[in-house]
Every structure is written in C-alpha cells, then in structure tokens.
Structure 1
Amino acid sequence: MVRPCGRRALLFEVTSAAEVAAIVSAVRAAELAEVTELVPAARTVLVEVAPGAALDRVRDAVRTADPESGSSGTGTVHTIPVTYDGADLDLVARTAGISRDEVVELHSGAEYTVDFCGFAPGFGYLSGLPEPLRQPRLESSRTAVPAGSVGIADVYSCVYPRRSPGGWRLIGRAAVAPEVLFDPGAERPTLFTPGDRVRFEAR
C-alpha cells in the first residue's frame, strides 16, 4: 500500500523485511537526485523528495523492487569484536537447547544487515540472526543496559549505542567505544546505516 505524506513524500507499507530492503535497494539504485530522505522501518519505507519535485520517478523506481532477489546489505561492512559474557547468555543457551559455546558460534558465524534504526539514536536493528537464537524479549525490561551491550530479540541482534533501558537478551559486550556507535557532533553521527552489513568476532 502507498500512502501520500503531504506533497513531498510517499509511505510504502509492506508485510516483510525483505520487501523493505527491496524498496530501499530499488530507490538507491535509481540514484534519484530529487530524493532527500529515505527512511526504512520494520514494515514501512518513507521516501521524501525536494520541494517542487515530482514523486512519479519514486513510484517508478519502487515498481522495480524485487523482494525475491535475496539481496543483502550493500553498504559498509562493520566487524565488531565481542566478549561473549552477557547476563542472559545462559538463558539463551537453555532456551535454544544448546551450549554457551554453540550460541557464540552461531551468533558470530552469521552476517547481519542493518534493516533500520530506531528506539534510540544509533540503535540498529540487525537482521540475519540464526533460527535457534530467535527468542522473545525479556518479560521485564532492565532499567539500564550498559552501552556496547550486544543483545538479541525476535529475529534481530543489536548493539546498544548508549546506556538505556532495554529488554533484549544480552549475550555479550562489544569492544567499541560508545562515541563510535553514536556521536551527535560527528559528520556521520551513527556507525550503522540501513543497508550496512555487520559481523561479530568473538574475542
């Protein structure tokens, strides 16, 4: 479904992360100079154009989107060193019916794509979590999760960019300074951008 958002934007509502990724890829591939904002979320993509620009070429680009292409992220590749000693590592292993070492092997052996960012500045939702690790959030959220914590929830993994409340299952700590994950004063404030790829390296 396509919904107009004022005169300068379209909101595309879809049913899967694959469709979101396909729309983002199609719009980027079209290299439309008039596009000023491209904002993916879990099941929507907002595309905004410059004042006075038409939206027709955006619609044409999105028509070429192919969710079946299996395209993964095409942006920057980030390798994040992780110490796997999270508070919920045993819970994740027990829920999956595997050992702690197998949790580490599965999590660090996958490649993830930054589907979208939200919740907090610099917080990326990383798809690609192996099936045995796809588990619900904690029943009760923590009031404070340390910056750099690596978590899992549902089909995603994440790295907390700053100390904040959170209910994801924590499996480790990233060896990345918080200001690398999010620095509002930097030219590029966030490490992760939708379309980037992420690999975790066990330390």
Structure 2
Amino acid sequence: MRLRRCGTDAVLVEVDSLGEVEAVRAAVHAAALPEVVELVPAARTVLIGARPGGLAAVRRVLDTVDLSHRVESESREVTIPVVYDGPDLELVAETAGVGPDEVVRLHTGATYSVAFCGFAPGFAYLVGLPEALQQPRLDSPRTKVPAGSVGVAGEYTAAYPRATPGGWRLIGRTDAPLFDPRRDPAALLQPGDRVRFEAAA
C-alpha cells in the first residue's frame, strides 16, 4: 500500500489489485469516520477526502487494513431487469463456445459487486463476471452506444447510463434508472453494492 497526498485534505491510496482496493474501501467505509467526506475507489487506487485536519484519523484506519482480508461492510442488493437482445449476444456466445441462452443463464446466474464508478456519471464497473463471459472489447468501438445497453469487457460487466461512445460487447438493454441528477444519490449503483441481473421479457 502506497499513500500519496492530494492537496491538504486528501490521500490517494495505491494498491496492486481490485481485491486490495475493496479491502481499503470496505475498511474505511466500515470505520464510519466523521472526518471522511469522500471515498472514491478505482481500479488500483482509493481516493479519500477528509475534513480539514481529518487525515490523521484516516491514516490510523489505513494502518490497520489487511489487504488480504475483505472487511464486511453494509451493502445493498440491486436487481436490474435486462432484455437480452444485444447486437453482440451472438458474438459473445460464439467466443464463449456456448449458445445465446447459456450466455443469458451465466450472466443472470452470478452475483456482482460494484468495484468502482467512472467513465460517465452512473457508470458502475461490476466484478463477478463468469469466466466464459470475460472477453475483450470490440476491435472497433461504436461511436454511440444507446443508453441502457448492458455489456461485457474484460473482467467487468456494466450498463451504460447514457448514450456514449464505447467498445464493450453489448448483450442486452435495461430501462433501470441508472442515473438521475434529481435523485440522492444520483447514481443507482454505488461501490460495494451487490447487483443481480434478471432476464425480462
């Protein structure tokens, strides 16, 4: 674990894996420090923002983190309905060596967790994707992926909260309100949440 100061009241924690990111995030979240005002996990870092003078308390928690052990913290379970008719469903099935129905069974049969959010507001990177569905991005990204598209790329699965360019393999679509700036919090999915996908008609 490497710590880098970010301004006067934040620290960037650098680690070596998603599992270690989750260990840091969960430990700081579970500590419920009133000094912490922002906790932002990413693929290999966690940014922790504190109130003025609050970094000493944050460092005390970080000194106790066991990177090989996940601290259980309170999390929500969110179910997202998906119509599995994406333009890359056949490609994902062919690459996995299974039929499209098996892709749906595998995708809906797993429980995912939100590792981090980024790329676009409300875009949550979910881990827990079955190995057969862990596939590379498209060779040529699309200039516009429709809002609500559900895709896979590498070890992640995600749903696009708005129309953006993207290179993920699209297997379905959802009408779930992934991001609403009038809601608090605006993003439906938050780091640490557990997520299930459910096949919809």
Pick the TM interval, shorter chain: over 0.9
1:160 positional shift: 0.5
Question: 1:68: how far off?
Answer: 3.1
Give the deviation of 1:70 after TM superposition: 4.8
Residue 115 of structure 1 aligns with an amino acid whose one-letter code is: A
- Verify the 8 A CA contact 2:151 2:158 in the aligned structure 1: yes
Deviations 1:54-99 (A, max 9, x none): 3122122123323433567742211011111110011001111111
Asked whether the equivalents of residues 113 and 128 of structure 1 are also in contact (C-alpha less than 8 Å), the reply is yes
Structure 2 partner of 1:181: 178
* Partner Cα distance (1:170, 1:152) in 2: 7
Whether the 8 Å contact between 2:84 and 2:199 is mirrored in structure 1 is yes
Task: Output aligned runs, 1:33-72, within 5 Å.
Answer: 33-51=34-52, 53-70=53-70
- 5+ residue gaps in structure 2? none
**Percent identity (aligned):** 58
Superposed counterparts of 1:78-89, under 5 Å:
78-89=78-89
- The whole-number CA distance in structure 1 between the counterparts of 2:67 and 2:87 is 36
Distance between the aligned counterparts of 2:66 and 2:167, measured in 1?
34
Number of the residue aligned with 2:198: 201
Report the secondary structure of 2:68's partner residue: helix
**Residue in 2 that maps onto 1:116:** 116
Q: State how far apart, in whole Å, the 1-side matches of 2:34 and 2:88 are.
A: 46
Q: How does 1:133-152 map to 2 (within 5 A)?
A: 133-152=133-152
Where 2:187 maps in the other structure, the secondary structure is coil
Do 1:148 and 1:159's aligned partners in 2 also have CA atoms closer than 8 Å? Answer: yes
Q: Which amino acid aligns with 2:192?
A: G
The TM-score, its normalising length taken from structure 1, stands at 0.93
The two structures have a TM-score, normalised by structure 2, of: 0.94
* Runs of 4+ off more than 6 Å: none
Q: Which amino acid aligns with 2:7?
A: G
Look up the SS of the partner of 2:185 in the other structure: coil
Q: Partner of 2:91 in structure 1?
A: 91
**Structure 1 pair 63–29 and aligned structure 2 pair: CA distance change class (3 A):** same
Structure 2 vs 1, CA of residues 193 and 125 (structure 1 numbering), >3 Å: closer, same or farther?
same
RMSD over equivalenced CA pairs, Å: 1.4
